[in-house]
Chain A
Amino acid sequence: MSRAMVEAVAAEMRADEEVFVMGEDVADYGGIFDSTEGLLEEFGHDRIMDVPISETGFIGAGVGAAQAGMRPIVELMFADFFGVAMDQIYNGMAKNTYMSGGAVSVPMVLTTAVGGTYNDAAQHSQTLYGTFAHLPGMKVVVPSTAYDAKGLMHTAVRDDDPVVYMFHKRLMGLGWMPAPPGPKTAVPEEEYTVPFGEADVKREGGDATVVTLGLHVHRALAAAEDLAEEGIDAEVIDLRTLVPLDEETVLESVGKTGRLVVVDEDYRSFGVTGELIALAAESNLDALDAVERVAMPDVPVPYARPLEEEVNPDSEAVAAAVRSVVE
């Protein structure tokens, strides 16, 4: 997935002098998760900028540059580190368009790595989709395949609003952190966009609707394959963006199946799972026969392998939830 992201960034940088990249270890290192790999060679240090470890400073500078009309792509290395700079993110980047009555635009992309599954404990493994989607003013993008990663990045850079682009480390194709086969999709060489707010029905089925995003799209698909052998036909929806949220695709599917399972690697309470179930309930309670949510329990991500495996939902947990709603 990382190469697809980089292709889109490079194409946007070639097309528009105003696009630049800024972040820790983005230049010579190429991004800790390869999210900027190879860009330095083509664009040099002026446009691929390594910065001091000072997230408040450089993310806030991204906001300022965006308000000045440039199109910065700023990397917050791990989503977990947002706390250091959250004031610039949610009080500035997210709110300035609104507070200015639309007089100011912030055309900026904040890229950040999410997710666990590699035992790096509570300060380097969080997924935090809900935190960013909860705070108004930022579009929130979560690719699950290489194809989507490229198309969504083109859309993100061209968007006049701040976009938080959350990529899962386990999907990037890193040599030191092998990816499952799912994200390695074919990627056209030419430019294309994947629009925001259009979920992707990854697998059609009539018995239950599984809604998810990021790494767990692949875990849900694996669960659906297992369930098919038992005669349970699950529909799997990849949200692709949380803001805007494709309510229509979700509701249509729930209308068809009557059963909803939401799967999320973020914490269970006050997050994506509750939001989607509330959406379905508010829209058409009568259509809803059963719901389940599968998410990280409300505990910080633990370090030891058996503890992390316990809390991070696997495909078996997804399958169990689907069985439970179709019973």
Chain B
Amino acid sequence: MYDDMVTARRYEERLQEEYLEGKQPSFDISAGPIPGELHLAAGHEASGAGVCAHLRDDDTVTAPHRPHHVAVAKGVDLKRMTAEIFGRETGLCRGKGGHMHLFDPDVNFACSGIIAEGCPPAVGAAMAAKKRNTDAVAVAFLGEGAIDQGGFFESLNLASVHDLPVVFVIEDNDWAISMPKERVTDVENGADRAGGFDLPGVRVDHDDAVAVHEAAGEAVGRARDGNGPTLLEVQVHRRMGHFMGDAEGYRPDADRERAEARDSVERIEADLADYGVDDDELAAIRERAESRVEEAIEWAKEQPEPDPGQAYEDVFTNPVGGAAATDPSAGAAGGDD
């Protein structure tokens, strides 16, 4: 768990550095080596690591638009994920998806850029597991801002009524872009919403990866044993803006300081020390994580950008020939490689 957490933290620190290259002093989203928007998860690591510690490669995870810490913990190929974020041909999605739309079928990981969009597909993956009589489970991660979305409620209901092996994990960082939680809901505890669907709702406070691990163990175990879904909410903290370039003018300083003071990585380090793990061992894990991250970033930057003609490929698995091939300049149109 600690390994996943420090890998995710270091990974995002490095992504941030790369992303901001060429975008300073004045932020221009079109500049620099990493295209598009970038949403970082610093402060969310406990939930990804604590939950995914119980998952196998054949378990499905859907993550939201802030996906890196979950992807790292689920075992997504770090090099190919990085190449995707840099928009390279050898990326997970051949440069078509980018950081919000990562797919790694080898470990059954997907994420999306639309709020709560991953909930129904997680239910579907759980449905497939149940129909096939496997003991695989599905986990949908979503932010607390997403739990007012209809797709979330519909998914809870569907999972509950069919006793499906799915765990919904709310990462509550108190902010949906500029909207503080108290201005969009009168229910402080998101896990309470489980009650309306007759499934267990559990909340874990304050970035405690060990407590997350324990609660997730019960929830995943319950799903794997055929006892149905769980709604698990984890209090995390947003240590930076909603996206890179967000000046957070709407956010009180005290709130940002509170988030910085509650660091899940520092907390697990203290916990591990209490368990008798010595500093050298932690330092070794950190060093290993750093070199793994560095290797992934260096590898990704050496990868080629996709050839423009590849834009016309992958619209269909079975190309329709002609219909998608609307650009006559596209030599490869209509036929995937």
- Hey, which bits of chain A sit against chain B, CB under 8 A? 24-25, 27-29, 32, 50-57, 80-81, 83-84, 117-124, 175-178, 268-269, 297-300, 302-311
Contact = CB atoms under 8 A, between A and B. Distances in A.
B101 interface: yes
A120 B34 CA distance: 11
A207 B148 CA distance: 55
A292 B95 CA distance: 30
B101 A122 contact: yes
B179 A52 contact: yes
B326 A119 contact: no
A56 B150 contact: yes
18 contacts: A29-B249, A51-B184, A52-B184, A53-B149, A57-B148, A117-B30, A121-B98, A123-B114, A124-B113, A177-B28, A298-B326, A304-B87, A304-B95, A304-B305, A304-B306, A310-B309, A310-B311, A311-B327
Interface in B80-127: 84, 87-89, 91, 93, 95-98, 100-101, 112-116
Interface string B294-337: 00000000000111111110010000000110110010000000
B36 A303 contact: yes
Contact of B307 (A120, A175, A297, A306): A306
Contact of A124 (B37, B96, B150, B250): B37
B101 A121 contact: yes
Contacts of B178: 25, 27-29, 50
A29 B176 CA distance: 11
B95 A24 contact: no
Contacts of A52: 145, 148, 176, 179, 184-185
Contacts of A300: 96, 315
Contact of A297 (B35, B96, B184, B327): B327
Q: How large is the interface on B (under 10, 10 to 19, 20 to 34, 35 or more residues)?
A: 35 or more
A31 to B, nearest CB: 10
Given A119-B87, A123-B101, A50 B184 contact: yes
A167 to B, nearest CB: 17
Contacts of A302: 95-96, 311
Instruction: Indicate the member of A27, A84, A307 with the most B CB atoms within 10 Å.
Output: A307
A118 B185 contact: no
B35 A305 contact: yes
Contacts, number: 158
B122 to A, nearest CB: 17
A84 B95 contact: no
Given A177-B28, A268-B326, A307-B306, A29 B177 contact: yes
Contacts of A119: 29-30, 35-36, 87, 98
B97 A121 contact: yes
A100 B163 CA distance: 42
Contacts of B116: 53
Interface of B: 26-30, 35-37, 84, 87-89, 91, 93, 95-98, 100-101, 112-116, 145-146, 148-151, 176-179, 183-185, 245, 249-250, 305-312, 315, 323-324, 326-327, 330
A105 B307 CA distance: 51
A43 to B, nearest CB: 16
Given A123-B101, A124-B113, A310-B308, 18 more contacts: A52-B176, A53-B116, A84-B115, A84-B150, A123-B112, A124-B37, A176-B29, A177-B28, A177-B30, A269-B323, A298-B315, A298-B323, A300-B315, A302-B311, A304-B305, A306-B306, A307-B306, A310-B311
A300 B312 CA distance: 9
Nearest to B146: A53
Nearest to B326: A297
Contacts of A310: 308-309, 311
A297 B176 CA distance: 34
A84 B112 CA distance: 13
Contact of B36 (A54, A121, A299): A121
Nearest to B307: A306
A300 B93 CA distance: 13
Contacts of A297: 311-312, 324, 326-327, 330
Contact of A54 (B89, B101, B114, B148): B148
Contacts of B146: 53
Instruction: Indicate the member of B96, B184, B309, B310 with the most A CB atoms within 10 Å.
Output: B96
A50 B95 contact: no
B308 to A, nearest CB: 4
A134 to B, nearest CB: 18
A118 B149 contact: no
A57 B27 CA distance: 34
Contacts of B177: 24-25, 29, 32
Contacts of B185: 52
Instruction: Indicate the member of A25, A300, A310 with the most B CB atoms within 10 Å.
Output: A310
A307 B95 contact: yes
A18 B193 CA distance: 34
Contacts of A269: 323, 326
B36 A118 contact: yes
Nearest to A45: B183
A81 B115 CA distance: 9
Given A52-B179, A297-B327, A299-B312, A121 B29 contact: no
Nearest to A77: B177
A52 B177 CA distance: 11
Nearest to B95: A304
A118 B30 contact: yes
